């Protein structure tokens, strides 16, 4: 059975059960007569399960996902860098084709973006927190993309028509596929920088991608958070000077260096030698379950699981 069919069957079963519950409840109703109005059984017309399924159909995502998202937001917003999340509204949308993931964008009461989260569905039916970030330029921000398209001369104005499709494999293969008058362009989903990609090169990257390893559970609470000042990662170029990478295999070594305020750079080439990312590591989040997320300075603080960063690049002092 394919992965899509495995995920679809439980939802179909829920719909069948919900329908049966509604039918059972209705069958116990007393019809209206000339002397009295119609009455229903003491149980509500729609059971808790039926209501949950109805909510999922309207929203387009499971109610359990919403509960997980609210839990992560509550935990993070208790810390000062995420304080704006306490009063923020959130919008949940599919992350992109084939991801089984969702993008959660948070906005202030004034409708300004204040952060985002990426969430994945795990094989056991639970949900896992991927990357997340704070700042006015979240992941897959349409307004920022529009500004970049105009700045690059691809659009003549912000009102010019275009089509943009989210593509997400991992934090450093997160891109916009933009179509303008039959021409295709690719942009980084966080920085909105134009990328040296085309359909063929992206297809090769997607084919070589074997999926994200299940991230450690980020629940139930943040145990520690360190966030320092940004610095210029290109002030030194250790990856070009034959310096040995910093060994971040041990969480404790990573936490010690960043916690003491020593510079650390993250370098990766997700598209081969066509493009190199060199990013300042400015902090980390520690979760009560032991998971560590590195804070990268990318138009705001971008928190990525340390285990994911180890898979796609190297750290340098």
Give the chain's end-to-end CA distance (angstroms, integer).
Answer: 47
| Res 183 pLDDT > 90 | yes
CA pair distance 218, 132, nearest whole angstrom: 11
Radius of gyration of the CA atoms of the chain, in A? 23
Dihedral sign for Cα atoms in the order 151, 156, 157, 163 = negative
Does position 138 have pLDDT exceeding 90, yes or no? yes
pLDDT at position 26 is 39
Average pLDDT, the chain: 84
Q: Higher confidence at residue 243 or residue 38? A: 243
Name which of 90-99, 142-151, 258-267, 271-280 the model is least confident about. Answer: 90-99
Position 64 pLDDT exceeds 70:
yes
pLDDT digits (tens, 9 = 90+) for 261-287: 999 999 999 998 889 999 999 999 999
Q: Give the per-residue pLDDT at 214.
A: 53
The yes-or-no verdict on residue 158 having pLDDT over 70 is yes
Percentage of the chain surpassing pLDDT 90? Answer: 68
pLDDT of 316 > 50? The answer is: yes
- How far is 26 from 256, CA to CA, in rounded Å? 63
Mean pLDDT to the nearest integer, 139-160: 95
Instruction: Average the pLDDT over each of 103-117, 164-178, 208-222 and give the range with the smallest value.
Output: 208-222
Better pLDDT: 8 or 178:
178
Q: State the average pLDDT over residues 90-95.
A: 94
Q: How confident is the model at residue 22 (pLDDT cuts 50, 70, 90)?
A: very low
The confidence score (pLDDT) of residue 59 equals 56
Sequence-distant (6+) residues with CB within 8 A of 157 are 150
- Give residue 124's pLDDT band: very low, low, confident or very high (50, 70, 90): confident
């Amino acid at each position: 059975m394919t992965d899509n069919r495995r995920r679809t069957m439980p939802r179909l079963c829920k719909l069948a059960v919900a329908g049966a519950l509604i039918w059972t409840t209705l069958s116990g109703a007393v019809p209206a007569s000339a002397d009295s109005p119609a009455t229903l059984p003491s149980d509500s017309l729609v059971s808790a399960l039926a209501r949950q399924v109805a909510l999922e159909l309207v929203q387009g995502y499971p109610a359990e996902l919403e509960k997980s998202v609210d839990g992560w937001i509550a935990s993070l917003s208790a810390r000062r860098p995420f304080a704006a999340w306490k009063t923020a509204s959130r919008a949940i949308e599919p992350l992109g084709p084939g991801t089984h993931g969702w993008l959660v964008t948070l906005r202030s009461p004034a409708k300004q973006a204040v952060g985002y989260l990426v969430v994945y569905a795990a094989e056991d039916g639970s949900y896992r927190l991927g990357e997340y970030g704070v700042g006015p330029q979240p992941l897959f921000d349409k307004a920022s993309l529009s500004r970049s398209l105009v700045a690059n001369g691809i659009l003549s104005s912000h009102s010019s028509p275009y089509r943009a499709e989210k593509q997400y494999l991992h934090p450093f293969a997160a891109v916009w596929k933009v179509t303008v008058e039959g021409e295709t362009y690719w942009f980084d989903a966080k920085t909105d920088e134009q990328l040296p990609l085309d359909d063929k090169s992206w297809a090769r990257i997607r084919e070589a991608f074997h999926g994200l390893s299940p991230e450690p559970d980020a629940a139930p609470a943040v145990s520690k958070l360190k966030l320092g000042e940004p610095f210029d990662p290109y002030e030194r170029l250790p990856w070009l000077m034959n310096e040995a990478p910093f060994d971040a295999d041990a969480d404790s070594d990573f936490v010690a260096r960043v916690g003491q305020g020593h510079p650390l750079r993250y370098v990766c080439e997700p598209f081969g030698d066509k493009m190199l990312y060199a990013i300042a590591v400015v902090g980390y989040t520690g979760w009560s379950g032991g998971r560590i997320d590195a804070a990268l300075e990318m138009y705001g603080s971008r928190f990525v699981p340390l285990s994911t960063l180890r898979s796609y690049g190297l750290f340098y002092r």
